[in-house]
Protein backbone atom coordinates (compact mmCIF):
# COMPACT_ATOMS: atom_id res chain seq x y z
CA UNK A 1 0.00 0.00 0.00
CA UNK A 2 2.80 2.43 -0.87
CA UNK A 3 2.53 5.55 -2.96
CA UNK A 4 4.70 7.98 -4.87
CA UNK A 5 5.60 9.77 -1.64
CA UNK A 6 7.33 6.61 -0.40
CA UNK A 7 9.07 6.16 -3.75
CA UNK A 8 10.26 9.76 -3.59
CA UNK A 9 11.59 9.31 -0.06
CA UNK A 10 13.42 6.12 -0.98
CA UNK A 11 14.99 7.76 -4.02
CA UNK A 12 16.12 10.67 -1.85
CA UNK A 13 17.78 8.28 0.62
CA UNK A 14 19.38 6.23 -2.14
CA UNK A 15 21.04 9.44 -3.34
CA UNK A 16 22.59 9.92 0.08
CA UNK A 17 19.98 12.08 1.79
CA UNK A 18 18.73 11.38 5.32
CA UNK A 19 15.46 9.48 5.85
CA UNK A 20 12.45 11.82 5.75
CA UNK A 21 12.05 13.57 9.09
CA UNK A 22 15.32 11.72 9.93
CA UNK A 23 13.61 8.78 11.64
CA UNK A 24 9.86 9.27 11.50
CA UNK A 25 7.57 9.29 8.50
CA UNK A 26 4.46 10.88 9.95
CA UNK A 27 2.87 14.19 10.94
CA UNK A 28 4.26 16.26 13.81
CA UNK A 29 2.76 17.49 17.08
CA UNK A 30 3.91 21.09 17.57
CA UNK A 31 3.98 22.67 21.02
CA UNK A 32 3.76 26.16 19.49
CA UNK A 33 1.77 25.78 16.26
CA UNK A 34 1.39 29.54 15.78
CA UNK A 35 5.13 30.06 15.30
CA UNK A 36 6.24 30.36 11.68
CA UNK A 37 9.12 27.93 11.26
CA UNK A 38 9.04 25.12 8.71
CA UNK A 39 12.61 23.99 9.37
CA UNK A 40 13.37 20.27 9.24
CA UNK A 41 14.76 20.46 12.80
CA UNK A 42 11.46 21.73 14.19
CA UNK A 43 9.54 19.15 12.16
CA UNK A 44 11.70 16.35 13.52
CA UNK A 45 11.11 17.45 17.13
CA UNK A 46 7.37 17.57 16.48
CA UNK A 47 7.37 14.06 14.97
CA UNK A 48 9.13 12.85 18.12
CA UNK A 49 6.49 14.57 20.23
CA UNK A 50 3.67 12.86 18.34
CA UNK A 51 5.34 9.49 18.89
CA UNK A 52 5.53 10.20 22.62
CA UNK A 53 1.85 11.20 22.66
CA UNK A 54 0.78 7.93 21.03
CA UNK A 55 2.94 5.81 23.34
CA UNK A 56 1.43 7.60 26.34
CA UNK A 57 -2.11 7.07 25.02
CA UNK A 58 -1.37 3.35 24.67
CA UNK A 59 0.19 3.25 28.16
CA UNK A 60 3.32 1.61 26.80
CA UNK A 61 5.71 0.85 29.67
CA UNK A 62 9.25 -0.46 29.71
CA UNK A 63 9.48 -4.24 29.54
CA UNK A 64 6.32 -4.65 27.45
CA UNK A 65 5.89 -6.73 24.30
CA UNK A 66 5.19 -4.29 21.46
CA UNK A 67 4.35 -4.71 17.78
CA UNK A 68 4.77 -1.62 15.57
CA UNK A 69 2.55 -2.17 12.53
CA UNK A 70 3.48 -0.03 9.53
CA UNK A 71 6.86 0.64 11.14
CA UNK A 72 8.17 2.64 8.17
CA UNK A 73 11.86 3.44 8.44
CA UNK A 74 12.09 2.25 12.07
CA UNK A 75 11.75 5.61 13.81
CA UNK A 76 9.25 4.50 16.43
CA UNK A 77 11.26 1.38 17.22
CA UNK A 78 14.39 3.48 17.64
CA UNK A 79 12.43 5.95 19.78
CA UNK A 80 11.20 3.11 22.00
CA UNK A 81 14.68 1.61 22.24
CA UNK A 82 15.99 4.88 23.70
CA UNK A 83 13.12 5.48 26.13
CA UNK A 84 12.06 1.97 27.09
CA UNK A 85 15.13 -0.21 26.44
CA UNK A 86 13.66 -3.34 28.01
CA UNK A 87 10.66 -3.53 25.69
CA UNK A 88 10.57 -6.51 23.37
CA UNK A 89 9.67 -5.01 20.03
CA UNK A 90 8.86 -6.21 16.53
CA UNK A 91 8.40 -4.02 13.46
CA UNK A 92 6.10 -4.96 10.60
CA UNK A 93 5.67 -3.39 7.17
CA UNK A 94 4.34 -4.64 3.88
CA UNK A 95 7.13 -2.86 1.97
CA UNK A 96 10.48 -4.64 2.20
CA UNK A 97 12.23 -1.51 0.91
CA UNK A 98 11.23 0.43 4.02
CA UNK A 99 12.38 -2.43 6.24
CA UNK A 100 15.79 -2.27 4.55
CA UNK A 101 16.23 1.31 5.76
CA UNK A 102 14.80 0.45 9.17
CA UNK A 103 17.49 -2.21 9.60
CA UNK A 104 20.14 0.37 8.77
CA UNK A 105 18.72 2.80 11.32
CA UNK A 106 18.57 0.21 14.08
CA UNK A 107 22.14 -1.07 13.57
CA UNK A 108 24.59 -1.72 15.15
CA UNK A 109 22.70 -2.11 18.44
CA UNK A 110 20.58 -5.26 18.84
CA UNK A 111 17.80 -4.67 16.37
CA UNK A 112 14.12 -5.46 16.70
CA UNK A 113 12.93 -8.27 14.43
CA UNK A 114 11.54 -6.71 11.27
CA UNK A 115 8.91 -8.62 9.33
CA UNK A 116 7.45 -8.04 5.87
CA UNK A 117 3.73 -8.78 6.24
CA UNK A 118 0.20 -7.45 5.81
CA UNK A 119 -1.26 -5.49 8.72
CA UNK A 120 -4.57 -7.30 8.16
CA UNK A 121 -2.95 -10.74 8.55
CA UNK A 122 -0.45 -10.51 11.39
CA UNK A 123 2.05 -13.40 11.67
CA UNK A 124 1.84 -13.29 15.47
CA UNK A 125 0.53 -15.79 18.02
CA UNK A 126 -2.77 -15.00 19.67
CA UNK A 127 -2.64 -13.22 23.01
CA UNK A 128 1.13 -12.76 22.84
CA UNK A 129 1.44 -8.95 22.93
CA UNK A 130 0.93 -6.15 25.42
CA UNK A 131 0.67 -3.34 22.88
CA UNK A 132 0.07 -2.83 19.17
CA UNK A 133 1.01 0.48 17.53
CA UNK A 134 -0.19 1.76 14.16
CA UNK A 135 1.06 5.31 13.66
CA UNK A 136 -0.51 7.01 10.67
CA UNK A 137 -0.89 3.91 8.54
CA UNK A 138 -4.32 2.26 8.99
CA UNK A 139 -5.86 4.32 6.18
CA UNK A 140 -3.52 2.47 3.80
CA UNK A 141 -4.85 -0.95 4.85
CA UNK A 142 -7.44 -2.83 2.77
CA UNK A 143 -9.74 -3.01 5.81
CA UNK A 144 -9.65 -1.23 9.16
CA UNK A 145 -12.08 -3.86 10.46
CA UNK A 146 -9.75 -6.72 9.53
CA UNK A 147 -6.83 -4.93 11.19
CA UNK A 148 -8.78 -4.34 14.39
CA UNK A 149 -9.78 -8.00 14.54
CA UNK A 150 -6.17 -9.05 14.07
CA UNK A 151 -4.98 -6.59 16.72
CA UNK A 152 -7.57 -7.97 19.14
CA UNK A 153 -6.44 -11.50 18.38
CA UNK A 154 -2.75 -10.91 19.09
CA UNK A 155 -3.24 -8.77 22.21
CA UNK A 156 -3.59 -10.22 25.67
CA UNK A 157 -6.74 -9.19 27.60
CA UNK A 158 -6.08 -5.69 28.87
CA UNK A 159 -3.50 -5.00 26.18
CA UNK A 160 -3.77 -1.82 24.14
CA UNK A 161 -3.93 -0.68 20.55
CA UNK A 162 -2.66 2.89 20.00
CA UNK A 163 -2.74 4.69 16.69
CA UNK A 164 -3.09 7.98 14.87
CA UNK A 165 -5.41 8.56 11.93
CA UNK A 166 -7.24 11.20 9.95
CA UNK A 167 -10.81 11.37 11.28
CA UNK A 168 -13.75 12.90 9.45
CA UNK A 169 -15.89 15.52 11.15
CA UNK A 170 -19.61 14.67 11.39
CA UNK A 171 -21.47 15.79 8.26
CA UNK A 172 -18.32 16.31 6.23
CA UNK A 173 -18.53 13.20 4.03
CA UNK A 174 -19.47 14.93 0.78
CA UNK A 175 -16.79 17.62 1.13
CA UNK A 176 -14.11 15.12 2.14
CA UNK A 177 -15.00 12.73 -0.70
CA UNK A 178 -14.92 15.54 -3.27
CA UNK A 179 -11.57 16.88 -2.07
CA UNK A 180 -10.06 13.39 -1.90
CA UNK A 181 -11.08 12.79 -5.49
CA UNK A 182 -9.78 16.17 -6.67
CA UNK A 183 -6.49 15.76 -4.79
CA UNK A 184 -5.86 12.27 -6.10
CA UNK A 185 -6.31 10.54 -2.74
CA UNK A 186 -7.42 7.05 -3.66
CA UNK A 187 -6.13 3.92 -5.28
CA UNK A 188 -3.07 5.32 -7.05
CA UNK A 189 -2.58 8.86 -5.80
CA UNK A 190 0.51 10.51 -4.36
CA UNK A 191 -0.07 8.92 -0.95
CA UNK A 192 -1.07 5.56 -2.41
CA UNK A 193 -4.29 3.85 -1.42
CA UNK A 194 -6.20 5.97 1.09
CA UNK A 195 -9.42 4.58 2.55
CA UNK A 196 -12.39 6.81 3.34
CA UNK A 197 -11.89 8.23 6.85
CA UNK A 198 -14.10 7.28 9.77
CA UNK A 199 -15.79 9.63 12.20
CA UNK A 200 -15.07 9.36 15.93
CA UNK A 201 -18.38 7.54 16.36
CA UNK A 202 -17.41 5.19 13.56
CA UNK A 203 -14.15 4.39 15.32
CA UNK A 204 -15.98 3.74 18.60
CA UNK A 205 -18.35 1.31 16.86
CA UNK A 206 -15.48 -0.42 15.08
CA UNK A 207 -13.62 -0.83 18.37
CA UNK A 208 -16.62 -2.33 20.16
CA UNK A 209 -17.26 -4.78 17.33
CA UNK A 210 -13.66 -6.05 17.59
CA UNK A 211 -13.69 -6.40 21.38
CA UNK A 212 -12.03 -3.13 22.38
CA UNK A 213 -12.92 -0.43 24.87
CA UNK A 214 -12.08 3.15 23.89
CA UNK A 215 -9.43 4.73 26.13
CA UNK A 216 -8.42 7.88 24.25
CA UNK A 217 -9.78 9.88 21.32
CA UNK A 218 -7.87 13.17 21.17
CA UNK A 219 -8.35 15.66 18.35
CA UNK A 220 -4.84 17.15 17.99
CA UNK A 221 -5.44 18.79 14.61
CA UNK A 222 -4.47 22.30 15.68
CA UNK A 223 -1.08 21.12 16.94
CA UNK A 224 -0.37 19.27 13.67
CA UNK A 225 -1.10 22.12 11.22
CA UNK A 226 2.56 23.26 10.91
CA UNK A 227 3.21 19.86 9.32
CA UNK A 228 1.80 21.12 6.03
CA UNK A 229 4.27 23.97 5.43
CA UNK A 230 7.10 21.61 6.37
CA UNK A 231 5.83 19.00 3.89
CA UNK A 232 5.55 21.63 1.17
CA UNK A 233 9.13 22.64 1.83
CA UNK A 234 10.27 19.03 1.45
CA UNK A 235 8.18 18.57 -1.71
CA UNK A 236 9.58 21.74 -3.29
CA UNK A 237 13.10 20.64 -2.49
CA UNK A 238 12.46 17.31 -4.21
CA UNK A 239 10.66 18.91 -7.15
CA UNK A 240 7.46 17.00 -6.43
CA UNK A 241 4.63 19.05 -7.95
CA UNK A 242 2.09 16.28 -7.34
CA UNK A 243 3.12 16.10 -3.71
CA UNK A 244 2.57 19.84 -3.34
CA UNK A 245 -0.93 19.67 -4.86
CA UNK A 246 -2.03 16.65 -2.84
CA UNK A 247 -0.69 18.00 0.43
CA UNK A 248 -2.49 21.27 -0.27
CA UNK A 249 -5.78 19.42 -0.66
CA UNK A 250 -5.37 17.62 2.66
CA UNK A 251 -4.37 20.89 4.35
CA UNK A 252 -7.50 22.61 3.04
CA UNK A 253 -9.69 19.94 4.62
CA UNK A 254 -7.80 20.24 7.91
CA UNK A 255 -8.10 24.04 7.98
CA UNK A 256 -11.83 23.78 7.25
CA UNK A 257 -12.27 21.37 10.15
CA UNK A 258 -13.57 18.60 7.90
CA UNK A 259 -10.55 16.31 8.29
CA UNK A 260 -9.10 16.06 11.78
CA UNK A 261 -5.98 14.36 13.09
CA UNK A 262 -6.67 12.14 16.10
CA UNK A 263 -4.63 10.10 18.56
CA UNK A 264 -6.67 7.05 19.59
CA UNK A 265 -6.12 4.20 22.02
CA UNK A 266 -8.17 1.13 22.86
CA UNK A 267 -8.00 -1.60 25.50
CA UNK A 268 -8.54 -5.24 24.59
CA UNK A 269 -11.48 -6.51 26.58
CA UNK A 270 -11.27 -9.62 28.72
CA UNK A 271 -13.86 -11.73 26.93
CA UNK A 272 -14.25 -14.22 29.76
CA UNK A 273 -14.70 -11.49 32.34
CA UNK A 274 -17.26 -9.82 30.08
CA UNK A 275 -19.17 -13.09 29.75
CA UNK A 276 -19.09 -13.57 33.51
CA UNK A 277 -20.51 -10.08 34.06
CA UNK A 278 -23.25 -10.74 31.54
CA UNK A 279 -24.06 -14.05 33.18
CA UNK A 280 -24.16 -12.43 36.62
CA UNK A 281 -26.44 -9.67 35.35
CA UNK A 282 -28.76 -12.18 33.73
CA UNK A 283 -28.99 -14.30 36.87
CA UNK A 284 -29.92 -11.23 38.93
CA UNK A 285 -32.64 -10.22 36.46
CA UNK A 286 -30.73 -7.23 35.09
CA UNK A 287 -30.02 -6.64 31.41
CA UNK A 288 -27.93 -3.92 29.88
CA UNK A 289 -30.05 -0.87 29.12
CA UNK A 290 -33.27 -2.75 28.41
CA UNK A 291 -34.52 -3.75 31.83
CA UNK A 292 -35.74 -7.19 32.82
CA UNK A 293 -37.99 -9.16 30.57
CA UNK A 294 -41.47 -9.58 32.07
CA UNK A 295 -42.21 -12.94 33.59
CA UNK A 296 -45.13 -14.91 32.24
CA UNK A 297 -47.45 -16.46 34.73
CA UNK A 298 -49.98 -19.22 34.25
CA UNK A 299 -53.04 -20.07 36.21
CA distance 152 to 147: 9
CA geometry: angle at 264 spanning 158 and 155, to 5°?
30
34 tagged catalytic: no
User: For the chain, what is the largest distance between any 2 Cα atoms, rounded to a whole number of angstroms?
Assistant: 89
> Cβ–Cβ contacts within 10 Å for residue 3, how many?
21
Which residue among 34, 48, 136, 242 is the active-site one?
Answer: 136
Question: 161 — phi, psi (to 5°)?
Answer: -115, 125
Residue 84 neighbours by CB under 8 Å, 6+ apart: 60, 61, 62, 63, 64
Which residues lie across from 214 on neighbouring strands? 266
CA geometry: angle at 189 spanning 186 and 192, to 5°?
80
> Cβ–Cβ contacts within 10 Å for residue 69, how many?
29
Residue 216 neighbours by CB under 8 Å, 6+ apart: 57, 162, 263, 264, 265
Cβ proximity of 185 and 249 under 8 Å: yes
Cβ proximity of 120 and 69 under 8 Å: no
Q: What value does the CA radius of gyration of the chain take, rounded to a whole number of Å?
A: 21
Going by their DSSP bridges, the two strands 212-219 and 259-268 should be labelled as antiparallel
Closest by Cα among 218, 224, 231 to 254? 224
Catalytic residues: 136
Amino acid sequence: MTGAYVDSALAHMAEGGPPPFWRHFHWGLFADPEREDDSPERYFAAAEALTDRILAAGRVADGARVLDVGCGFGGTLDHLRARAPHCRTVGLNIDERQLHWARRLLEPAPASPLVAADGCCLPVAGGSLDHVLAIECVFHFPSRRAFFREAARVLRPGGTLALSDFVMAPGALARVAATMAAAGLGEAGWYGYVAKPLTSDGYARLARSAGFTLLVDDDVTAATLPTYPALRRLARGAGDAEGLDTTGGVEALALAGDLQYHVLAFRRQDVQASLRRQSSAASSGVTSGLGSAPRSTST
